[in-house]
Amino acid sequence: MLQPAVPLNEVERLKSLQEANILYSPSEEEFDNITQLASFICKTPISLISLVGEHEQWFKSKYGTELCDAQRDISFCSHAILEPEQIMEIEDTRLDVRFADNPFVIAEKEPIIYYAGMPLKNHENMVLGTLCVIDTKPNKLDKKQRKALTALAKQVEILLELKRKNEYLKTIRKELNDHNDLLKNFAGVVSHDMKMPLANMIMTADILKAKFDDQLGYEGLNYLKNIKQSGLKLSGYINGILEHYESDKIAAAHAEEFDIHDLLEEIIDLLHITEDCEINLPEKNTTIETNRAALEQIFLNLIGNSLKYNDKSKIIIDLECSENLDYYYFSVKDNGIGIPKDKEEDIFKIFTTLSKNDRSGNIGNGIGLSTVKRLVGNLGGNLRMESEVGKSTCFSFSIKRK
């Protein structure tokens, strides 16, 4: 018996096999289907997907045998991987000097008399093992069988590559989730830590104005006004960040039953509307069962935007609600300033603004609509918008029923 030679690129080959993360992995139907098909096509009782490690070969898939592995120095596949581009076929192993006294060949029970193996390569052209068929009597593949075995080996390579890419994507996803969690924690800590100093700054500006109003003069009072406005704007920005990153927690709350009119009336009261405004509630007062806190946050943002970004003397907001067996559907339509077509995709991105002043002359922070989209997505729904500049904007969204 001749022991197999070691490939010239053995170090790199073993590294590739390790990185494939498939050695000693559980059996999988996709691979088992291929070994079964190979055995059927080649008319052999045994078929294996064999991965050649440093000291042993291990069978990712096996058909017709209970063996799980074998020593590398007596394996047939260790010889087959030395010729990566072609099938190694031994019609009668008893007549081949490499295998004549091999333990598998001279075994009394189910000896390996016939072997045909097609090497399996990865994306870097490194040979990881073989797809092989085995018989206990002399055999020979015809032209069609050889072509089929080669094609099946290619399918194994495709499965191995898909498995490698999936593992890579899982790793990237975990890293992104970890980074996202760190960002959430950082944003939460920083935002909470900044709220008190900001409140103190705003309050101090009011105290200074009250105590020294007659001494500061027009310019001094203007400075105080700017300080307070900047503080209020930054405070709103921080509250927006907290709402955005806490939206996942809000969406995870339990569903409860309530009617839509009660919810919307509470929201209208919270907004303390002072403008001339007509808000039309849904014609039907539907009783729904969903996450009340999340839906409240969505409506607060959308109705709030309809109030702020409106240049009409009278603000008109129409609210609609409907349902089917799977979803609740809602819409918020206003007669506001509208959104240009080229900005429709950008408005849902966090920190993106239209660079337009609202009704009070302020520019938004670009967080509200991003939070709305995040909440709607977490509730299993979709959000879309239709707008006409200078006339109206309508936000429609769905929520999956519990």
What is the H or E stretch that residue 71 is in? strand 69-71
Intervals of CATH 3.30.565.10 along the chain: 247-400
Q: What is the pLDDT of residue 81?
A: 94
If you write DSSP's letter for every residue of 346-392 in order, what string do you get?
Answer: GGGSTT---S-B-TTSPBP-S-HHHHHHHHHHHTT--EEEEEETTTE
Find out whether 340 and 392 touch, Cβ atoms under 8 Å.
Answer: no
Give the pLDDT confidence score for residue 135 in this predicted structure. Answer: 96
User: CB–CB of 113/18 below 8 Å?
Assistant: no
What pLDDT, on a 0 to 100 scale, did the predictor assign at position 205?
81
Options 3.30.930.10, 3.40.50.300, 3.30.565.10, 3.40.50.1100; CATH of 247-400:
3.30.565.10
Q: What is the pLDDT along the chain (402 residues), one digit of tens a residue?
A: 688 888 889 999 999 898 888 888 888 999 999 999 999 999 999 999 999 999 999 999 999 998 888 899 999 999 999 999 999 999 999 999 999 999 999 998 889 999 999 999 998 899 999 999 999 999 999 999 999 999 999 999 999 999 888 888 888 888 877 777 766 666 666 666 666 677 777 788 888 888 888 787 888 888 888 887 777 766 665 666 566 666 566 656 678 899 999 999 998 988 888 889 999 999 999 899 988 888 988 998 899 889 988 989 999 999 999 999 999 999 999 999 988 887 777 777 765 566 566 666 666 555 678 888 888 988 899 999 999 998 999 999 999 987
Indicate where the chain has its CATH 3.30.450.40 domain(s): 10-167
- Name the pTM for this structure: 0.53
| Residue for token pair 């429609």 | 396
Residue whose C-alpha is closest to residue 61's, from 38, 43, 44, 79 = 38
Q: Is the Cβ–Cβ distance between 401 and 328 less than 8 Å?
A: yes
Give the CATH number of domain 10-167; options: 3.30.70.60, 3.40.225.10, 3.30.450.40, 3.40.50.300: 3.30.450.40
Q: What is the pLDDT of residue 366?
A: 57
**Count of positions (residues) in the chain:** 402
